Amino acid sequence: MSKIHNFSAGPAILPQSAIDASIEALKNFSNTGLSLIEISHRSKEYEAVLREACELVKEILNLGNDYDVVFLQGGASLQFDMVPMNLLNENGTACYINSGVWASKAIKEAKYFGNVNVVASSEDKNFSYIPKDYTIPADANYFHCTSNNTIYGTEMFEFPHSPIPMICDMSSDIFSRPFDAGKFSLIYAGAQKNMGPAGTTLVIIKKGLLGKVTRKIPSMLEYKNHIEGESMYNTPSVFAIFVCMHTLRWIKSIGLEAMEARNIEKSNLLYSEIDRNSIFEGTVAIEDRSRMNVNFVLKNKEFEDDFLKLCKQRNLNGLKGHRLVGGLRASLYNALEIESVQALVETMQEFENEKNKSN
The footprint of a second copy (CB under 8 A) covers 1-4, 6, 8-14, 19, 22-23, 26-28, 32-35, 37-41, 73-78, 80-81, 85, 105, 108-109, 112, 190, 192, 196-200, 216, 218-221, 233-240, 243, 315, 317-318
* Closer residue to a second copy, CB minimum distance, 111 or 301: 111
Q: Which amino acid is at 191?
A: A
How far apart, in whole angstroms, are the C-alpha atoms of residue 273 and residue 348?
8
Residue 282 in contact with residue 271, Cβ under 8 Å? yes
* Closer residue to a second copy, CB minimum distance, 13 or 136: 13
Q: How far is CA 60 from CA 75, 242, 259, in A?
A: 22, 17, 12
CA angle 241, 242, 247 (to 5 degrees): 90
The verdict on whether 193 is a catalytic residue reads: yes
Residue 119 in contact with residue 110, Cβ under 8 Å? no
Q: How far is the CB of 328 from a second copy (least distance, A)?
A: 15
Which among 169, 206, 250, 288 is annotated as catalytic? Answer: 169
* Closer residue to a second copy, CB minimum distance, 63 or 328: 328
* Closer residue to a second copy, CB minimum distance, 78 or 103: 78
* Closer residue to a second copy, CB minimum distance, 2 or 358: 2
Q: How far is the CB of 173 from a second copy (least distance, A)?
A: 17
The verdict on whether 275 is a catalytic residue reads: no
Q: Beta partners for 70?
A: 203
Which among 20, 66, 68, 102 is annotated as catalytic? Answer: 102
% helix / strand / coil in the chain, to the nearest 5? 40, 15, 40
Q: Where are the alpha helices (DSSP H) in the chain?
A: 16-27, 44-60, 75-87, 101-110, 223-228, 238-254, 256-276, 304-313, 338-358
Residues constituting the chain? 359
* Closer residue to a second copy, CB minimum distance, 131 or 236: 236
Q: How far is the CB of 74 from a second copy (least distance, A)?
A: 5
DSSP-assigned letters across all residues of 23-78: HHHHHSGGGSSS-GGGS-TTSHHHHHHHHHHHHHHHHHTT--TTEEEEEESSHHHH
Q: How far is the CB of 258 from a second copy (least distance, A)?
A: 22
Residue 142 in contact with residue 120, Cβ under 8 Å? no
Q: How far is the CB of 31 from a second copy (least distance, A)?
A: 8
Which among 20, 132, 139, 193 is annotated as catalytic? Answer: 193
Residue 94 in contact with residue 86, Cβ under 8 Å? no
Q: How far is the CB of 244 from a second copy (least distance, A)?
A: 11
CB atoms within 10 A of CB 118: 17
* Closer residue to a second copy, CB minimum distance, 112 or 134: 112
Q: Kindly give, in sequence order, each residue whose CB lies less than 8 Å from that of residue 323, ignoring residues fewer than 6 positions away.
A: none
The verdict on whether 102 is a catalytic residue reads: yes
E-strand stretches of 99-141: 115-121
Q: How far is the CB of 261 from a second copy (least distance, A)?
A: 23
Provide the annotated active-site residues.
102, 169, 193
